[in-house]
Structure 1
Amino acid sequence: MLKQVKNVTIKGQKKISSVLLFFYALEKKMGNLSQTSAPVYEALERFRKKRVVPFDVPGHKRGRGNPELRELLGEKCVNLDVNSMKPLDNLCHPVSVIRDAEELAAEAFGAAHAFFMVGGTTSSVQSMVLSSCKAGDKIILPRNVHKSVINALVLNGAIPVYINPQVDSKLGISLGMEIGEVAKAIKANPDATAVLVNNPTYYGICSDLRSIVKLAHEHNMLCLVDEAHGTHFYFGKNMPVNAMAAGADMASVSMHKSGGSLTQSSLLLTGPNVNWEYVSQIINLTQTTSASYLLLSSLDISRRNLYMRGEASFGKVQEMAEYAREEINSIGGFYAYGRELKNGSSIYDFDVTKLSVYTRDIGLAGIEVYDLLRDEYDIQIEFGDIANILAYISIGDRIQDIERLVGALADIKRLYSKDPSQMLNTEYIAPKVVVSPQKAFYAKDESLPIRETAGRICSEFVMCYPPGIPILAPGEVITKDIIDYIIYAKEKGCSMQGPEDPDVNNINVLV
């Protein structure tokens, strides 16, 4: 129906945008919108065909003012890099095409409401936390959270109640939240407002999400899920349970990771008992008022793609990951771990699409294998830590790419293996929190050489990125083990982030 009005001449004071919105509303009322629709993308296409003269921002004016940008991104891309306007709706207060796209996303993901987010899943996670607690409130969470969670606590002054996760002593990775440990934390902190869960972790570890949600609700607490790496749980078969199916109140979903949308685009999902209008107000405290329509349309198109093809696509992803796991383990020296780790508690389930590989037995840190793959074999994987690598496999991968990765790992073992006996123990070091993140971050501090900071209280973050899980966060006591770990990670080539000193030779501590 919309196509029929594109050549109509509008006389008098009536504006074409009003006519478009009228017919769009009529089309929706007639029931023509479905999961095969992509409202934002379709509105952009209608807009592009009209050849509107721009006297608004962005200033490149469809790329004419920046020819290098136009050459880099292409004519169609710069033509769709536009500002909010009536025919295209506004992310801060959606009333038409964005609203409808969010409703379709909510339906596809089994949520009561879905928000399109253009500040990455960092913005989604922080909006969850800021919506659930305020200054002085307690929130129960695992210590191995992404830095965005603790950043939110710095912003709003909430108090973290950390559950230090169990650790696989061989792999050196943090495991999931055990229901017994969550119950202890709730009993000791009955005034907490929420429980936050990482599900899955970067390495593929899943917690007993249904039981955690049930326990939180029994004690009148919200359950929030950082589901950055779990988009595929909503569409694939034989996957761990997704947050909305488990009854969670909110979930942050990185569509750009395994869902195929553009980098920085994300979703925030809410359940039926959440006041989504209030969450919308919280989002608008920090989210841009100049949302990128390239990001918004990529969310819209990706949701449609996953709804229509996700089950088949993620079935192939699982097959490729399991094939890669088998082939890598046949090399010897490497350990690509999977469902065999499940123990019913700290590893309740495992996401087999995560190709996590333990490298320490060949005498190389994960970050060293990461660097070799990139520098010597032109293979870019997701990350390497002290003892593991992660190759992210998703809907855009091909079996020939898997074969190339397996061959490169076999070559690395043959050419670069070392004696592993001198390597640092990779176990997670449980921090001691003595000051709230907000108080420590804004307190008076001083910069000291890292070797002189043992016993002092950290006032900043120190982390390897990726994965972005802080080794130290504001308010935590610095120990010799933590210092040794940071120095070792630097020596092995980990990308260190967080401190004011970019070389991480000094750390800021409370005075």
Structure 2
Amino acid sequence: MSLSQERAPVYEALEEFRRMRVVPFDVPGHKRGRGNKELREFLGEKCVSLDVNSMKPLDNLCHPVSVIREAEELAAEAFGASHAFLMVGGTTSAVQSMVLTACKRGDKIILPRNVHRSVINALVLCGAVPVYVNPDVDHQLGIALGMKVSQVEQAIKENPDAVAVLVNNPTYYGICSDIKSIIALAHAHGMMVLADEAHGTHFYFGDNLPAAAMKAGADMAAVSMHKSGGSLTQSSLLLTGPEVNPGYVSQIINLTQTTSGSYLLLSSLDISRRNLALHGRETFCQVVELAEYARAEINAIGGYYAYSRELVNGDSIYDFDVTKLSVYTLEIGLAGIEVYDLLRDEYDIQIEFGDIGNILAYLSIGDRRQDIERLASALAEIKRLYQKSRNGMMSQEYISPQVVVTPQDAFYARKESLPLKETAGRVCSEFVMCYPPGIPILAPGERITDKILDYIVYAREKGCSMTGPEDEKIEALNVLL
């Protein structure tokens, strides 16, 4: 059967089901909203009437044979993959499924340390051993960059028994590694290549954007459709290449993914894939134009630095995602998180995140020129009202870790809780991170240093949202006995 990207099989099946007026004696218990008036009024009758359970006319996410399978085939074609899986546990679930597919206990995986916590969580689950490539740091911006091909080559040389290489494509800030060369290098040594494309959905549908992982020959890619692709929060795709067994991947996914897949999420993936396949190129051309306009407006203010492809050096910054509106703030004497808080609290503008030295305004298919102008005006006023000396400001965003034991061994080891200031020199057994972006400052198995403790205290004082430890106030850490 030939595929038509104008189809949306899950959405179409739901619309047909809605017209059938079926009497529900199954879950969910709100029974199309009748049993929960407040929920029905809040979300709307149409929405709750389509919050249904798996059944023959609607297929089953755990073992798709009809409409969900068709939707996955269409997604695979649209993204240039051999197979696609609709994911309802977010890209966290897709990333973890990639790692669990490629690795078992004791296997080595080569990866940059500036990965999302979901990657290291997967190592806790499966017991794989991380071989970290510590990325270079841009010392002006304080951010971690991509992996150099030479760094990956050295890691492969020192760990020829590694089974996979994982690549961020791109980083949260828009930095891209030379993914094509890394894929060729890894494949030459019999290793799989996994791509975390949480922030790269648009690469598949844009002109003059960085290389998309599947088109570059990656074995697997986790794609956040809900970020730049327009689907509902928590919906994602897992893409696989021709050398990956989709039946085994399905088994891996079903180890952790819900057996009660949300049809609201599934239909949003289906509709969004259709929109991207039919209109993605023109849409993301407009997003790029908006981003370039925003950069020009913000850089004209002075003090801020909205960076772009001028950073590209052909190696640790092989390419840059120009849709990412990343802005350096320290020259006006404010940490990124301080600008983030001011934008929200004083100007009713919610951006994606602020860290020690940068902010990120996430631009995608729903943004408008007038919104950009409002953001630029607010940034100009923040500079005028709040600018101060940058003396005493911390600028280093990324600190290379000292890995002592594997994440799994550390997470499940005997441990004790100590006051933060007493943990220097000990081995951490939990995560500490600012969220977003969710890149661990500390991960299980890493040695705690004075530099890391200074960073944690500083970030907490500046207002970063710190997550991970058992102690919610981040005044104590669990360390190995």
> Which category describes the TM-score, using the shorter chain as reference length?
over 0.9
Question: Could you tell me which amino acid in structure 2 is paired with residue 371 of structure 1?
Answer: D
**In the alignment, what sits opposite 1:345?**
315
Determine if the alignment matches structure 1 residue 90 to structure 2 residue 36.
no
The secondary structure found in structure 2 opposite 1:422 is coil
List runs of 5+ in structure 2 lacking aligned partners: none
Q: CA deviation digits over 1:30-50, x for unaligned, max 9?
A: x5x510000000000000001
Distance, in Å, in 2 between the alignment partners of 1:241 and 1:459 is: 36
Q: Give the greater-gyration-radius structure (CA).
A: 1
**In the alignment, what sits opposite 1:274?**
244
Query: 1:446: how far off?
Result: 0.5
Distance, in Å, in 1 between the alignment partners of 2:114 and 2:417 is: 25
Question: Could you tell me which amino acid in structure 2 is paired with residue 198 of structure 1?
Answer: N
Query: 1:302: how far off?
Result: 0.1
The secondary structure found in structure 2 opposite 1:160 is strand
Determine if the alignment matches structure 1 residue 69 to structure 2 residue 32.
no
**In the alignment, what sits opposite 1:388?**
358
Question: Which of 338, 359, 370 pairs up with 1:400?
Answer: 370
The secondary structure found in structure 1 opposite 2:215 is coil
Distance, in Å, in 1 between the alignment partners of 2:359 and 2:455 is: 18
How many residues in Structure 1 have an aligned counterpart in Structure 2? 481
Query: 1:422: how far off?
Result: 1.4
CA contact (8 A) 2:356 2:395 kept: no
TM-score, structure 2 length as denominator? Answer: 1.00
**In the alignment, what sits opposite 2:451?**
481
Q: CA deviation digits over 1:15-58, x for unaligned, max 9?
A: xxxxxxxxxxxxxx5x5x51000000000000000110000000
Distance, in Å, in 2 between the alignment partners of 1:478 and 1:389 is: 27
Query: 1:508: how far off?
Result: 0.5
1:122-137 paired onto structure 2 within 5 Å: 122-137=92-107
1:89-488 paired onto structure 2 within 5 Å: 89-488=59-458
CA contact (8 A) 2:28 2:53 kept: yes
Q: CA deviation digits over 1:333-392, x for unaligned, max 9?
A: 000000000000000000000000000110000000000000000000000000000000
Distance, in Å, in 2 between the alignment partners of 1:424 and 1:389 is: 15
Query: 1:105: how far off?
Result: 0.2
The secondary structure found in structure 2 opposite 1:369 is helix
Question: Could you tell me which amino acid in structure 1 is paired with residue 253 of structure 2?
Answer: I
Identity value in percent: 78
TM-score, structure 1 length as denominator? Answer: 0.94
Q: CA deviation digits over 1:98-141, x for unaligned, max 9?
A: 00000000000000000000000000000000000100000000
Question: Could you tell me which amino acid in structure 2 is paired with residue 459 of structure 1?
Answer: S
1:39-58 paired onto structure 2 within 5 Å: 39-58=9-28
Distance, in Å, in 2 between the alignment partners of 1:317 and 1:365 is: 27
**Which portions of structure 1, spanning 4 or more consecutive aligned residues, are displaced by more than 2 angstroms?**
none
Distance, in Å, in 1 between the alignment partners of 2:204 and 2:406 is: 35
Query: 1:425: how far off?
Result: 3.1
Distance, in Å, in 2 between the alignment partners of 1:200 and 1:451 is: 35
Distance, in Å, in 1 between the alignment partners of 2:417 and 2:160 is: 38
Query: 1:427: how far off?
Result: 4.4
Query: 1:454: how far off?
Result: 0.4
Distance, in Å, in 1 between the alignment partners of 2:5 and 2:172 is: 30
Q: CA deviation digits over 1:224-281, x for unaligned, max 9?
A: 0000000000001111010011000000000000000000000000001111110110
The secondary structure found in structure 1 opposite 2:105 is coil
CA contact (8 A) 1:168 1:427 kept: no
CA contact (8 A) 2:340 2:351 kept: yes
Distance, in Å, in 1 between the alignment partners of 2:52 and 2:221 is: 29
CA contact (8 A) 1:169 1:427 kept: no
Question: Could you tell me which amino acid in structure 2 is paired with residue 183 of structure 1?
Answer: E
Distance, in Å, in 2 between the alignment partners of 1:133 and 1:434 is: 20
List runs of 5+ in structure 1 lacking aligned partners: 1-28
Q: CA deviation digits over 1:282-314, x for unaligned, max 9?
A: 000000000000000000000000011100100
